[in-house]
Amino acid sequence: MSQPSDHRVELGEFLASRRARITPDQVGLPVYDAAKRRVPGLRRQEVATLAGLSVDYYTQLERGKVGGVSESVLEAVAAALQLDDAERSHLADLHRSVSTSPQRRRPPKRATTVRPMVQRLLDALSVPGIVGNARQDLVAANALGYAFYAPLYPDPQRPDPSHPVNFARFCFLDPAAHDFYPDWEWMADVAVNNLRTAAGRDPYDRGIQDLVGELSTRSEEFRVGWAKHNVRLHRTGTKRFHHPVVGALELGYETLPITADPGLQLTVYSPEPASPSADALALLAAWAATNAAHDVDTVGTEQPFTG
């Protein structure tokens, strides 16, 4: 994934994967020779027709030859393939990675730690709050955030913010993830799709490359998901968890970029008011506070979370 030729392959495979999922009848094209079709979705000729391009021109796009390709052409291809917002952004990222040489591309500046103001903001929240990066490291959290994500830490009694845990690694390599995530298959899709999105946005990010290589080597589930070329924008929704201390939790979440710290994003979880999840989260907060107070009494220094 680090060489320009690999970026061209990435672009071609992404377009081919989007083409394969759409059938002619979905886009209003007649099918006269269904028994003779050798592809599960649209043919290149059909995509070219829908996009108003020649088949030779579109074929060159799938081969990663995008020199001189305009935004209007990319938009026409995106419309023909019925790409959503995440896929359109990913196509633009891939096009940029192919058309810009590594020598001319300036690596984006990425924050690796949170500023004191951001940590104070986290600590002021009454619900779990965390800060993560594109690589899916848990960079910072408030006390309830650390308590909530205690299953990710080898030693939940002493989470070390200087050595952040990684959500994707936990999801695919730690058996505890299947207990923590009742909807593990969906969460695995979220993890791999977010990582694919990040890899397209920053194709020369060595940390992302190394993580993808590690997970591809060690997890068959990750390899299968990665090969699908699906992407996702992580913004809002609802997730289910099973916490080892308080049991079932169903929490809404909002994820926002920290614009002053490129590469970092804030995620806040919140339950429905007066719900069983709200009661469980209150119990978790009390449990975390009790253990934190115990550490202050016995150790003399307050820890971000102890279990």
Helix/strand/coil percentages in the chain, nearest 5: 50, 10, 35
What are the phi and psi torsion angles at 135 (to 5°)?
Answer: -80, -5
Shared domain for 153 and 278, answered yes or no, is yes
Query: What is the rounded CA–CA span in Å between residue 5 and residue 152?
Result: 36
Q: For the chain, what is the domain count?
A: 2
* pLDDT score, position 300: 34
Average pLDDT for 16-37: 81
Tell whether 107 is covered by a domain. Answer: no
Structure tokens given for 82: 């019925």
* pLDDT score, position 104: 57
CATH number for the domain that contains residue 155: 3.30.450.180
Using the Cα atoms of residue 202, residue 207, residue 213 and residue 219 in order, give the sign of their dihedral: negative
For residue 61, the SS3 value is helix
Last residue of a domain, one of 99, 130, 163: 99
Tell whether 289 is covered by a domain. Answer: yes
Tell whether 249 is covered by a domain. Answer: yes
Average pLDDT for 267-273: 97
Shared domain for 279 and 212, answered yes or no, is yes
Shared domain for 245 and 202, answered yes or no, is yes
Average pLDDT for 7-29: 90
- Mean pLDDT value across the chain: 87
Last residue of a domain, one of 39, 64, 99: 99
Shared domain for 196 and 230, answered yes or no, is yes
CATH number for the domain that contains residue 91: 1.10.260.40
Query: What is the rounded CA–CA span in Å between residue 284 and residue 148?
Result: 8
* pLDDT score, position 24: 87
Tell whether 206 is covered by a domain. Answer: yes
**What is the model's pTM?**
0.85
* pLDDT score, position 126: 95
- Residue span of the structural domain in which 77 resides: 4-99
* pLDDT score, position 153: 84
Q: Which residues contact 57 (CB under 8 A, 6 or more apart)?
A: 48
Last residue of a domain, one of 72, 99, 126: 99
Confidence class for position 67, pLDDT limits 50, 70, 90? confident
Average pLDDT for 11-21: 94
Tell whether 109 is covered by a domain. Answer: no
Residue 4 has pLDDT above 50, yes or no: no
Shared domain for 288 and 153, answered yes or no, is yes
What percent of the chain has pLDDT above 70? 86
Confidence class for position 81, pLDDT limits 50, 70, 90? very high
Shared domain for 24 and 142, answered yes or no, is no
Shared domain for 201 and 72, answered yes or no, is no
Average pLDDT for 176-203: 96
- pLDDT: is 300 or 110 the higher one? 110
Average pLDDT for 272-296: 86
Shared domain for 87 and 223, answered yes or no, is no
Shared domain for 134 and 38, answered yes or no, is no
Q: Which residues contact 8 (CB under 8 A, 6 or more apart)?
A: 63, 64, 65, 98
Shared domain for 22 and 143, answered yes or no, is no
Residue 303 has pLDDT above 80, yes or no: no
Residue 294 has pLDDT above 60, yes or no: no
Tell whether 105 is covered by a domain. Answer: no
Per-residue pLDDT tens digits for 150-186: 999 876 555 565 667 999 999 999 999 999 999 999 9
Shared domain for 88 and 128, answered yes or no, is no
Tell whether 204 is covered by a domain. Answer: yes
Per-residue pLDDT tens digits for 247-257: 999 999 999 99
Tell whether 146 is covered by a domain. Answer: yes
Shared domain for 172 and 91, answered yes or no, is no
Question: Of 24-33, 92-101, 180-189, which has the strongest mean pLDDT?
Answer: 180-189
Give the residue among 131, 111, 110, 109 at the shortest CA–CA distance from 119: 131
* pLDDT score, position 252: 98
